[in-house]
Chains A and B, each alone.
Chain A
Amino acid sequence: MVEGGGRGEGGDKARDEFLSEAQELVDGLGRDLLHLDEGLKKGRLDAELINDVFRAVHTLKGLSGLFGATRMAGLSHELEDVLDDLRLGRIELTSAVLDLLFQAVSLYGRILASESGETPDPVGEVEQLLVALGQFSQRRAGGGAGVVSQYDLDPGLLGVLTEYEEHRLRTNISQGQGLYRIRVRFSLSTIDSALDDLKAKARPHGEIITYLPTGSGADIDTIELEILMASRASVELLRSSITGPDVGIDEVRRRAAPSGIPDTPTPVPPDPPAHESLAPPTKVGGSLSPLARETGSVRMPAQLPPAPRQTPSIAPSPPQQRPGPSGPMAQELSLRSVSQTVRVDIRKLDRLMTVVGELAIVKTAIANLTERVRNRATDARELAIELARLNRTFDRHLAQMQSGILEVRMVPLGQAFDKLARVVRQISREHGKDVNLVVTGAETEIDKLIVEELSDPLMHMIRNAIDHGIEPRDDRLVVGKPPIGTIALNAFQKGNHVVIEVEDDGRGMDPAELLDAAVRRGIVTREEAGELRPHEVLALVFMPGFTTKEVATDLSGRGVGLDVAKTNIGKLGGIVDITSDVGIGTKMTITLPITLAIINVLLVEIGPRLFAVPLASVEEAIALDESQVRTVESREVLTVRGASLPICRLARLFGIPARSRERHRAFVVIAQVGNRRLGFVVDELVGQQDIVIKPLGKSLKNVRGFAGATELGDQRVALVIDVASLVDEVLLPAETRFLASAAEAGRS
């Protein structure tokens, strides 16, 4: 928890903790809302879940108040009111309410981002949402009150129900449960345990709504309770399962319904909030007025209005509006979380601490040895043996330390997937399409940094799948597909990589259509289009500016999205492949290294300099046979085992004087990125090594071709080649042409 005080000294640290804790709460909130949404679709409402959401918002309110995050506190306060109404059944949970709640979750995210100084404060949106929320809490309706009156319940009992109990009573009746009155006599000395016992027996059959002492028939040592229970079971079943010496169970009978009262609960449309508190006397049984007075809200007897079967809550106007260009969707929304924190199991840290202790021992041993050498108390042979031993120990502990720290950095992919589920819900509602997100492998672990960077690319892919892939309901029915579209998000580990698939069962991509669009947008020429192979055609969707849509919507069709997704995944050392069958669906496969921190590289020499090539993208390395090199359209191509391989002489590309070809035999490192292959000509293969990759400074961000650099031990630094970007650069000059012109267009 955050320590009190907060903003004073140490404020930064406490503030970081606040951000991280708030982020976690908001993430949890999103998850709970999704479950609620699922439940709502199945027509089932989990009261406990609403309570969870309420508590989370309440905690957020307290937390943000403590840290002076007033905008957040204000939003939480208003939300709390709405959630309280939901909890107590004053308003009904509908998709419209959920929309607002989801909107609140995404606003929380943006407020957090602005609290950490990353983005401007979303003042306008918060105000809008507050207004919408305010309307909800004002227009709460007292639906369902009438149903209670159909039962022969003691008005005295009803009068003392808490608002929550009353709500549960109504809900249970509305769900068609029977009501039972259980009279139990308890001995005062054992009442606690006996009552718990009884509750446990009752729980499998239904819900205990309340219990009250009857105040009658009790002697001085015993007390009689009347328990009101809702259950689907028959009175016989209850009598046989809830047993005890002094237990009596009766069914609460339903009154004969007076004419005009439907059997099913009839919700009431919202009432103009003009008159207050005192409910009109009910004609039904005279048993109900205490309820109305207690809640202070307006309740109408069930038979008064013409009883349309609509929800009492509200016509969902605000969330359905397509936001204009200034709305929240128009700005590129990001799912990245603010928090840079990783929660760590203390045992993992303990293990690391132990290793550090071991390393300290090695250090002491080295210090002793140094002392002995200085005093010439040891000869060279002895020294060598001792050093070799220390070196081995050191190596072992270092490896443990490394893997321990890596483990700490690992988080389940589910963290990103949870947020995507929210996106799916939002986008599919905006498009009026029914989409089911099926997630497998959410427990797959990957570096925290990668998870953060993945959310946005995945969002673009899913958005694309919903917008372009999944067909409208009617079209699906025509071709015999299930009316609800499915997007599968599958993750699994494959060696040192994590594979994530985004698969939809939509209409698939038509190569001819893609080619047309690409030509129309000037991404390829008609001639080039004719030469593209099938997988190259599909890869066109990753080109900047590519879109098949003539009219851009708010969400997609702007021709940004997939190219950005691909670039960002490329930055993580990942690759994207795409397969698609017309009429069946599209699958995008992302392959990522498990961690960014340590990668396995092939060290190569170009001229006098060392470079590292990530082995993840190296297929093989072979000696270069210059006699097999031909030049095709000013591009060098090597024949390897009968197939052509375009090659790139890195010395030439990098402007490094190469060694003479006669005296020295060069090598070709064959790299594969997605479906494309390219041979990098280098002077020497030095060997494999695990390296820690470090980013180059901002000053070098415009230099293409390097993913970072690594220290090699002897103070030297080797640059790590960004294979994907070099392959793009060499094989897709068309792309760079396009980028240049796009950049120019952007400037003007």
Chain B
Amino acid sequence: MAALIKARGEKRAVRRAGEAGRRVEYLAFVLAGETYAVQIAHVAEILRPPPITEVPRAPATMLGVISVRGKLVTVVDLRRRFHLPEAPIDRKTRILLGDLGKGEQLGLLVDEVQQVWRLAAEEIEAANVLGGEQPAHIAGIGRPADAAGATLILLELRPILEAP
């Protein structure tokens, strides 16, 4: 299996130059031990968490508000949103500023930001490989060819930003 992946990887490396334009960049981050990734085009900024002001009586997924250069941004705890166990904010915690170009910008609290992956279409598997019904925010599984074994859960931000 590993050999097979390696072989495919080499083939792809040859083609890569011609395909560079068609690859999509994903930003990988960690949430409760799993690696997730979102299209980097949808992330306006990565912030170290400032003090977050909790909003009483807001839904539990919304941690509170922060001020980003004079603009108020609601911060969503992705762990709570995905029903993962909670964890305290530490020095690796970051807030991704999710931005679809229109609608509201939202802060997404993640455990740790890793790196940027450039994925070609062949390196992305459809979400249904995980089983029949997947939540709308799972866009697929990323398997970067040049990092054998790495598995990225690709997130679609729209459903999260529209219904945090």
Taking beta carbons and an 8 Å cutoff, which residues of A are in contact with B?
Answer: 609, 653-656, 694-700, 703-706, 708-709, 711, 715-719
Contacts and interface: CB of A to CB of B under 8 A. Distances in A.
A700 B60 CA distance: 11
B134 interface: no
Contacts of B76: 699
B57 A694 contact: no
A654 B56 contact: yes
A706 B56 CA distance: 9
Contacts of B66: 717
A746 B98 CA distance: 34
Contact of A699 (B51, B53, B57, B106): B106
Contacts of B164: 699
Contacts of B105: 697
A598 B54 CA distance: 23
A182 B70 CA distance: 73
Contacts of B74: 696-697, 699-700
Interface of B: 50-51, 53-58, 62, 65-67, 70-74, 76, 103-106, 164
A709 B62 CA distance: 15
Given A700-B62, A717-B65, A717-B67, A609 B54 contact: yes
B55 A655 contact: no
A373 to B, nearest CB: 26
A664 to B, nearest CB: 20
19 contacts: A653-B56, A654-B57, A655-B56, A695-B72, A696-B55, A696-B72, A696-B74, A697-B65, A697-B73, A699-B62, A700-B58, A700-B62, A703-B57, A704-B57, A709-B53, A709-B65, A717-B53, A717-B72, A719-B53
B50 A656 contact: no
A711 B67 contact: yes
Given A711-B67, A715-B50, A697 B104 contact: yes
A709 B72 contact: yes
Contacts of A700: 55, 58, 62, 65, 74
Given A697-B72, A709-B67, A717-B53, 9 more contacts: A653-B56, A655-B56, A694-B67, A696-B74, A699-B62, A699-B106, A705-B57, A709-B53, A715-B67
B47 to A, nearest CB: 11
A706 B51 contact: no
Contact of A716 (B51, B55, B56, B57): B51
A706 B55 contact: yes
Q: Which of B67, B71, B74, B164 has the most CB of A within 10 A?
A: B67
A655 B72 CA distance: 23
Nearest to A714: B51
A503 to B, nearest CB: 39
Among B55, B66, B103, B105, find the residue whose CB has the most chain A CB atoms closer than 10 A.
B55
B146 to A, nearest CB: 38
Contact of A703 (B51, B53, B55, B72): B55
A680 to B, nearest CB: 13
Contacts of A709: 53, 65, 67, 72
Contact of A715 (B51, B73, B103, B106): B51
Nearest to A698: B104
A732 to B, nearest CB: 18
Given A699-B104, A715-B67, A609 B57 contact: no
Contact of A694 (B54, B55, B72, B103): B72
A155 B103 CA distance: 72
A735 to B, nearest CB: 18
Contacts of B56: 653-656, 703, 705, 719
Contacts of A708: 72
Contacts of A697: 65, 72-74, 104-106
Nearest to B164: A699
Nearest to B73: A697
A705 B58 CA distance: 11
Nearest to A715: B50
A716 B52 CA distance: 7
